[in-house]
Amino acid sequence: MLKFSRFAIVVAVMLITGCSSLNPFSKKAPRNDPAPLTSFKTSMSVQKVWSNRIGKSDNYFFNPAVVADKLYAASADGTVACMNVSTGKMLWRINAAKALTAGVGSDGKTVVVVATDGLVLAFDAITGKNRWKAQASSDVLSTPAVGGGVVVLRSLDNRILALDAQSGTRRWFVQRPAPTLALRAAPGILIDDDFAYVALPAGRLIALALTNGGTRWDAAVVEPRGATELERVVDLSGTPVISGRDICVTAYQGRVVCADLGNGALRWARELSAEAGVGVDDRFVYAADDRGNVNAFARTSGASQWRNTALALRHLSAPTAFGRAVAVGDYDGYIHFLSREDGAMLARLSTDGSSIKAAPIVVGSRLIVQTDDGQVLAIATK
């Protein structure tokens, strides 16, 4: 059986505050077979530097967090761990005694994960000791963002909550309307300077002041359209990415866009439906669409630069620029390295055979990846 299915044919039986949720990561076989991997002449040498086993994601979205020389990771069984990002040495490893649904967020002082029923758990980043607990209004799937002295998270009833990073006390909350139908996905939150940039269902991206939750701007990345509720699902995908004065994001059944960081005005937009987020470098914006095509757009204008179609229906992660390559994971645990210049295949590396949903993270000369079965590994070029 294939590792997970195409979004459009699976409806999760989950109701949250009246909002139905569609699951893009079911274990059932997709209607169309993913493209088989084809051979090519390898022109970039990559190797695993170290790997650790954390625990399975169980169809949730676990992203590792890296702060300075430490990497924090978590799994659905309650494992939370800290390791040296250069060597992989385990510095501490605990069990939260709760099943987890989201993580990890950290500012290097506090590590935050979320357990079932919206229980927010914080640990000391140096020792792993419990610091505080707090309660969200419903389940949380998106990774908490930690920065500026606060923890910001969004629950599935579309409430955005800010907690004090030291004590867990509530600072503020913002309630947004919940759409009738939404992806069972994890649109992300990004903290930059004094603002939290929150990707939302129904195609909206908002900027909130960390001090009081005041709205700096509220932008429609894409407007819902279509005759049915399913056709009108346009949830944002992945975590927004900032580059210079631009903030870029993608949407399912929507577009890839870059907007002005200061006021949310769209700089450019291109039609594209994505289940994962974007990658950005100084020249290009990279996005994998829901058909498995990897696209590169000019960062300043949005003009199409290249398109790789060799990974059709392989359910790709968000792309990440890594050296002269763009790295993207797939449903079968492969990491593909494409040329940043023209999208040609440069290299391929296998992991543990389970899906890679979280975007790879670049830390210096290393690429950090977490798989669905819980392998956390560092990759380098030879």
Tokens standing for residue 247: 């903030």
Over the Cα atoms of the chain, what is R_g? 19
For the stretch 176-208, pLDDT in tens is 987 776 666 688 999 999 999 999 988 899 999
The residues pairing with 130 across neighbouring beta strands, listed in sequence order, are 123
Residue 169 φ/ψ, nearest 5 degrees:
-70, 150
Tens of pLDDT, residue by residue over 122-156, are 999 999 999 999 999 999 999 999 999 999 999 99
**Cis peptide upstream of residue 104 (ω within 30 degrees of 0):** yes
What is the pLDDT, as a whole number, of residue 177? 86
How confident is the model over 41-67, as a mean pLDDT?
Answer: 95
Q: What is the pLDDT of residue 35?
A: 94
Provide the pLDDT for residue 233: 73
CA dihedral 66, 348, 323, 355 (to 10 degrees): -30
pTM above 0.85, yes or no: yes
pLDDT band at residue 169, thresholds of 50, 70 and 90?
A: very high
Query: pLDDT tens, 55-111?
Result: 999 989 999 999 999 999 999 999 999 999 999 999 999 999 999 999 999 999 999
Domains of the chain by residue range: 7-381
For the stretch 273-300, pLDDT in tens is 999 999 999 999 999 999 999 999 999 9
Q: Is residue 376 within 8 Å of 65, Cβ to Cβ?
A: no
* Residues 224-262 pLDDT 10s: 776 777 777 778 999 999 999 999 999 998 899 999 999
Structure confidence at residue 90 (pLDDT): 98
CA distance linking residue 331 with residue 4, whole number of Å: 7
At 280, the amino acid letter reads V
Residue 16: the pLDDT is 36
113, two tokens: 């994960």
- Which class is 7-381 in CATH? mainly beta
For residue 109, with 0-12 CB atoms within 10 Å meaning exposed, 13-18 middle and 19 or more buried, which class applies? Answer: middle
Is 250:278 a contact under the CB 8 Å cutoff? yes
Residue 4 has pLDDT above 60, yes or no: no
Residues 6+ apart with CB under 8 A from 227: none
| Mean of pLDDT values over 332-340 | 98
Q: Give buried/exposed letters for 96-108 (b at 16+ CB in 10 A, else e).
A: bebebbbbbbbbb
Compute the distance between CA of residue 291 and CA of residue 311 in angstroms, rounded to an integer. 8
CA atoms of 369 and 234, how far apart (whole Å):
27
